[in-house]
Amino acid sequence: MKVTSIRNIKIKTKLLLLGAISILGLLFIGTESVITASKINEASTVISQSWVPAIIIAEELNTRTADYRIKEYNHVVTTSVADKTRLEQEMEAIRTEIGQSFSRYELYIADESDRELMAQAKDNWNNYLECSDRLLSVSRENNSEEAFNIIMGESRQLFDEASNGFLKVVDYNRKGSEAASIEGDHLYMRLARMKVISVGVVGFLISLLVIYIIMAIDKPVKDLVEGTRRVADGDLDVYLSYRSRDEIGILTNSVNQLIDRLKHIIDDEKYLFKEIGNEHFDVKSTCEKAYRGDFAPILYSITSLMSRLSASKKRKEGLQENEGSGKKGVREITRIRKLKEMKVSKGKTAEECVVKEIKKNGGRKMDASDQTS
């Protein structure tokens, strides 16, 4: 398959190609921007709708368990039955809130690791609650020494494990949020970098094509203007060297053909008029095919002129022949007339001689022979 050079593409097609590259470049930049922006939005959405709520819930769990621990400690310390009852009611409310927080956290679990960490923290909390129930039973009996041993020993260890579990969940979600934020930053930098690269590449291609089109149009047009100016001034020694199948190339080729035809016609006219000057009226044109279109009347006029001149020459030659014949006839008539005059002159001379002879002879009478004479 033969690939057409961009030089031979029509100017309209070149401009359409320029427009297409510009549009495709803008579409590419726009598409890349939309895709990257959607990823940035997705990262920010994950941060705002998953990581941040999970962090808040995990910190609330850690805070509420601490509140529960404080009330549990107060339950051991106080000896008032009313206070113990009130504290147990408040502790039960906190347990309910913590259970609801566990349920809400399920909606924001990011991945399996997050699920495992929260499950471990929940198990630790449930172990702590089992210990807390035993502690509360001892505390209700006002067995302060045993209660203090439990709260400062096993209960404290289980609480620390549960609290550390919640802190691990908070830390994991905070790191996930930071990672999502960093990913968003990377996506933004990627978007900015891709925009710069895309704009640079598209701008370079467009600039290159624009410069090429300007050069492809400007120089040939200047050559055409200069060439036609020289032709208008009578200089036919012009040849335009631009070669292309676009509009300017076709126009250049047409101008070269026109100049070539004008050269042939002018040379032919010089030849014809030279022959006419030498009274050779039967010559033929050496390039009749060049006289096409509006040039045809020129050859027709020259041919008609040669025909009229040839006819005039023939008439002139005929008149000269007739004039020569007339002069010869006049000379013949003159000669005959002179001969007649000479005869008459001789007759008169003879008669005068006879008269003189008669007078000399004394008037003798003429005889019959004289009368006859």
Instruction: Give residue-wise pLDDT tens across range 5-55.
Output: 666 777 777 788 878 888 888 888 888 778 877 877 777 776 776 778 888
**Model confidence at 229: pLDDT above 80:** yes
Sequence letter at residue 9? I
168 vs 371, residue with greater confidence: 168
- Residue 96: its pLDDT value, please? 92
Greatest mean pLDDT among 50-54, 127-131, 236-240, 302-306 lies in 127-131
Contact 131, 158 (CB under 8 A): yes
- Residue 366: its pLDDT value, please? 44
- Residue 16: its pLDDT value, please? 83
pTM: 0.52
Section 94-113 average pLDDT: 88
Closest-CA residue to 227 (of 217, 218, 216, 235)? 235
How large a percentage of the chain has pLDDT more than 70? 85
- Residue 70: its pLDDT value, please? 92
pLDDT in tens, 296-314: 888 788 888 888 888 887 7
Greatest mean pLDDT among 13-17, 170-174, 194-198, 247-251 lies in 170-174
Burial group, residue 12, by CB count within 10 angstroms (0-12, 13-18, 19+): exposed
Residue located via tokens 């100049």: 259
Report the mean per-residue pLDDT for the chain: 80
Residue located via tokens 């499950």: 119
- Residue 370: its pLDDT value, please? 45
- Alpha-carbon gap, residue 84 to 74, rounded angstroms: 8
- Residue 314: its pLDDT value, please? 79
261-264's contacts with Cβ under 8 Å and 24+ in sequence apart are 261/290, 261/295, 262/231, 262/236, 263/236, 264/290
